[in-house]
Chain A
Amino acid sequence: MLYNLAVKNFKRYRVIHGIQISIGALAVMIMFDFSLMGADAKLMQVIGNTILSRSFLFLFTLVVAGLLILFSTYWNRLLMRQRYQEIGQLALMGMPTLKILLAFAIEFLLSQIIALGIGLCLGLLFYKLLVMILLKVSYVNFAIGFYFNWRALLPVILLIPILQVILFLNNLITIKRLSLLRLLKPKRPNVPEILPLWQLQLLSLLVLGLLLGGAQGFVNLFSVDDFLAQQLNISLVAGLCLAILLLSIAWILGLMGLWRIVIPTVILCLRRFKKLYFIQQRIFTISEISRWSFRNVKSLTGITLLLGLAFTFLGMGALVSRYGLNTIDNYTPYSLLATANKQVEIDQILKRDKVVAQVQPIFQTKILPVNYNLDTVVGHNYRSNADPSMVMTQATYNRFARYRGLKTLKLKPNQAGIIMPVTSILKAASKKDIAAQKPVVQVGTYAQLKLQITSITN
């Protein structure tokens, strides 16, 4: 009985389950692939000491799993709210709450198992592709084949019981909180006020602009904060905070507008094409989607905000770790700044200065990061605690330069600059001495630098 009801409901709400399955499958695929990579010993030998280390892969798997759980919980809430009346009816007919919830749990389990199946297949299928892309980014040559490992499967499969328990408890709390009367109350469609279409279209463009601007701003975060700090004559830290605040606001407003304005407008425009209606044939129709999305506009906004914020923070985290951590590094500012096609000249300069450098580009940008090991530069008497690798964009460099009153760089596409700060190589024999001599630097200030700036032209 329970199972029958669940299967029938699953078929009935196939559109909603379909969306959940697609997103779930995607998440499972990503999780599975990262989990596989972590387990792939041969692969880890090659890329293990780049940014794609095992712990990074593990962290990423966790983050994806967390996002999937968040999304599923929210989606489940949306689905439940859609079906309060159904629950009310069942309760009214005397079905115990636990059984009702069990029927829902079976229904969700069906879509989760399908998502898992599809996700695992996709994961196996695209493993090679994904790894190849990552290797390409890392400039590592490695022949990669298909790979499978039971241990890697475990965390992915474990996700389902965890998810089930979370959803079940969540639904139990929701239903227990509501009275039977509240459950039986017919839902009133939540139709937003409709402005004239041209105004909506204009607003939609504005919202899209806002989102685009926000995205651009985040990508260029460290130019934006510099700009703000200069224009408003405030400190760089304040500028950075202000920039993040402004961009977050733009991003949040944009996301809200996406659901409140852009998507309704798109639906309103689509509605004019009568051919898109197939109500009688019971096909996935515009009218069905539009009714549904108007009714659930609030919850959908919530979901988007949640996901949007999650990705924003993820992106910001990546940005900050990539640039920010280096810029506020307490110890070591060595860096090398150049356009990628200047490798030959750079090699010459490094050779002239007797610096043994290991060139290992990680990101395919205009900037060429150079890693070199201090030990090989100045011998064993000199040590540094810092990871001797650093990437600096022109904007970042110029920020320091301005701060230190140095010459700023204006690189043309065919120009490269090399910056070789030397001061934070610590002359010390023991770790204790290093601790004593470590320059104390606060965020936004910088250790004593002696900079050599060399410009190379073709």
Chain B
Amino acid sequence: MILTATHLSKIYGTTLNLTKALQNVSLNVGTGEFLGIMGPSGAGKSTLLNILSTLDQPTSGQVWIGDQDISQLRGQQLASFRRKELGFIFQDFNLLEALTVEENIILPLTFNKTPAQQVNAELSRVTTVLNLTQLLQRYPAELSVGQRQRVAAARALVVKPKILFADEPTGSLDSYSATELLQYLQLLNQSSQMAIVMVTHDAFTASFCKRILFIKDGQIFSEIVRKNSRQEFFDRIMDMQATIGGGGKTNALQSGS
């Protein structure tokens, strides 16, 4: 197991106006697994992902990544843990607009004080996989949305994280760019031991995962595992979405916030 979460709860607000965003959620992520998290808008997907990825603290419950209890990490320790072990991709492409694609991608390595030789090796590794070699000297403003998201992915992957967290990574992409990105992610997931935890509302995107957790009203509703073809998996996801209700475009738009 690369990640273990037990009895996670998250409560927002005051005693007068409580939102139970998560209630008693437990889950495991195996090494090299590609886990999807699905559910209607407001189900608590982002909340869950933020807690798993150390960006937020649960009201109660524990998260272990590797053999580290992340609630024990503070300040600089936490920052360094994130930098070395975790990768992040968000729906809106978080790139530094003032830097070129290359500078954006190698930025995390500069914080790690990686030697120049290795920086170049890592750079060419991720840029080859994500097909970015032609774009290295461009600025983010000169890229298409799909390209930007690939740069964001490259930056997340350049440090070889043990686990990659993605919140609606395809939420702003057209279907072509989305497929492209997902194929790259799938490739990386298969070729390395990196686990991926991806939140999505979209059945097609989710069909790239190996296992999907459905959550509703802050609780795990059900789980499905891919056995055969992606098409068959996709159909089962659609069925489950119909059962659970919700989903669709509105979800994609809201879950970015």
Q: Mark A6-18, 1 if CB is under 8 A from B, else 0.
A: 0011011100000
Given contacts A12-B98, A95-B111, A184-B55, 13 further A-B pairs with CB under 8 A are: A5-B98, A8-B98, A8-B99, A88-B94, A89-B96, A92-B82, A93-B107, A93-B111, A94-B82, A94-B84, A94-B112, A184-B94, A188-B257
Other-chain contact of B56, A5, A181, A282 (Cβ < 8 Å):
A181
Among A12, A85, A92, A95: residue with most chain B CB under 10 A: A92
Interface residues of A (CB under 8 A from B): 1, 5, 8-9, 11-13, 85-86, 88-96, 179-181, 184-186, 188, 282
Please state if B256 and A186 are interface contacts (CB–CB under 8 Å): yes
Closest Cβ of chain B to A17, distance in Å, is 12
A381 to B125, CA, bound (A): 99
Q: Which residue of B lies closest to A9 (CB)?
A: B98
Other-chain contact of B50, A95, A181, A186 (Cβ < 8 Å):
A181
Please state if A85 and B79 are interface contacts (CB–CB under 8 Å): no
Which 10 residue pairs spanning A and B have beta carbons closest together?
A94-B83, A12-B98, A8-B98, A93-B108, A9-B98, A94-B79, A186-B92, A94-B111, A89-B94, A181-B55
Query: Across the interface, which residues of A come within 8 angstroms of B111, CB to CB?
Result: 93-95
Please state if B92 and A96 are interface contacts (CB–CB under 8 Å): no
B97 at the binding interface (Cβ < 8 Å): yes
Please state if A185 and B257 are interface contacts (CB–CB under 8 Å): yes
Q: Mark B82-112, 1 if CB is under 8 A from A, else 0.
A: 1110001010101111110000000110111
B76 at the binding interface (Cβ < 8 Å): yes
Please state if A92 and B99 are interface contacts (CB–CB under 8 Å): no
- CB within 8 Å for A91 and B79 given contacts A12-B97, A188-B257: yes
Q: Which residue of A lies closest to B112 (CB)?
A: A94
Closest Cβ of chain B to A95, distance in Å, is 6
Q: Which residue of A lies closest to B97 (CB)?
A: A12
Query: Across the interface, which residues of A come within 8 angstroms of B257, CB to CB?
Result: 185-186, 188
Query: Across the interface, which residues of A come within 8 angstroms of B79, CB to CB?
Result: 91, 94-96
Closest Cβ of chain B to A201, distance in Å, is 34
Q: Mark B40-56, 1 if CB is under 8 A from A, else 0.
A: 00000000001000011
Query: Across the interface, which residues of B come within 8 angstroms of A90, CB to CB?
Result: 96
Closest Cβ of chain B to A440, distance in Å, is 59
Q: Which residue of B lies closest to A186 (CB)?
A: B92
A11 to B96, CA, bound (A): 13
24 contacts between A and B (CB under 8 A): A5-B98, A5-B99, A8-B98, A9-B98, A12-B98, A13-B98, A86-B96, A88-B94, A89-B95, A91-B79, A92-B88, A93-B107, A93-B108, A93-B111, A94-B79, A94-B82, A94-B84, A94-B111, A94-B112, A96-B76, A179-B56, A184-B55, A184-B94, A186-B256
B190 at the binding interface (Cβ < 8 Å): no
A5 to B98, CA, bound (A): 8
Q: Mark B7-48, 1 if CB is under 8 A from A, else 0.
A: 000000000000000000000000000000000000000000
Query: Across the interface, which residues of A come within 8 angstroms of B128, CB to CB?
Result: none
Query: Across the interface, which residues of A come within 8 angstroms of B141, CB to CB?
Result: 282
Query: Across the interface, which residues of A come within 8 angstroms of B56, CB to CB?
Result: 179, 181
Q: Which residue of B lies closest to A188 (CB)?
A: B257
Query: Across the interface, which residues of B come within 8 angstroms of A11, CB to CB?
Result: 98
Closest Cβ of chain B to A362, distance in Å, is 52
- CB within 8 Å for A180 and B55 given contacts A93-B108, A94-B82: yes
A186 to B95, CA, bound (A): 12
Q: Mark B154-198, 1 if CB is under 8 A from A, else 0.
A: 010000000000000000000000000000000000000000000
Query: Across the interface, which residues of B come within 8 angstroms of A1, CB to CB?
Result: 110
Query: Across the interface, which residues of A come within 8 angstroms of B112, CB to CB?
Result: 94
Query: Across the interface, which residues of B come within 8 angstroms of A94, CB to CB?
Result: 79-80, 82-84, 108, 111-112
Q: Which residue of B lies closest to A8 (CB)?
A: B98
Query: Across the interface, which residues of A come within 8 angstroms of B55, CB to CB?
Result: 180-181, 184
Closest Cβ of chain A to B148, distance in Å, is 13
Query: Across the interface, which residues of B come within 8 angstroms of A13, CB to CB?
Result: 98
Q: Which residue of A lies closest to B57 (CB)?
A: A179
Query: Across the interface, which residues of B come within 8 angstroms of A86, CB to CB?
Result: 96-97
Query: Across the interface, which residues of B come within 8 angstroms of A179, CB to CB?
Result: 56
A193 to B196, CA, bound (A): 41
A92 to B141, CA, bound (A): 21
Closest Cβ of chain B to A7, distance in Å, is 9
A96 to B110, CA, bound (A): 13
Closest Cβ of chain A to B47, distance in Å, is 10
Query: Across the interface, which residues of B come within 8 angstroms of A181, CB to CB?
Result: 50, 55-56
Closest Cβ of chain A to B253, distance in Å, is 12
A95 to B50, CA, bound (A): 19
Q: Which residue of B lies closest to A99 (CB)?
A: B111
Query: Across the interface, which residues of A come within 8 angstroms of B96, CB to CB?
Result: 86, 89-90
A91 to B78, CA, bound (A): 11
Q: Which residue of A lies closest to B152 (CB)?
A: A89
A96 to B141, CA, bound (A): 26
A94 to B92, CA, bound (A): 20
Query: Across the interface, which residues of A come within 8 angstroms of B95, CB to CB?
Result: 89
Query: Across the interface, which residues of B come within 8 angstroms of A5, CB to CB?
Result: 98-99
Query: Across the interface, which residues of A come within 8 angstroms of B256, CB to CB?
Result: 186
A90 to B97, CA, bound (A): 12
A180 to B51, CA, bound (A): 12
Closest Cβ of chain B to A167, distance in Å, is 19
Q: Which residue of A lies closest to B108 (CB)?
A: A93
Query: Across the interface, which residues of B come within 8 angstroms of A180, CB to CB?
Result: 55
Closest Cβ of chain A to B187, distance in Å, is 24
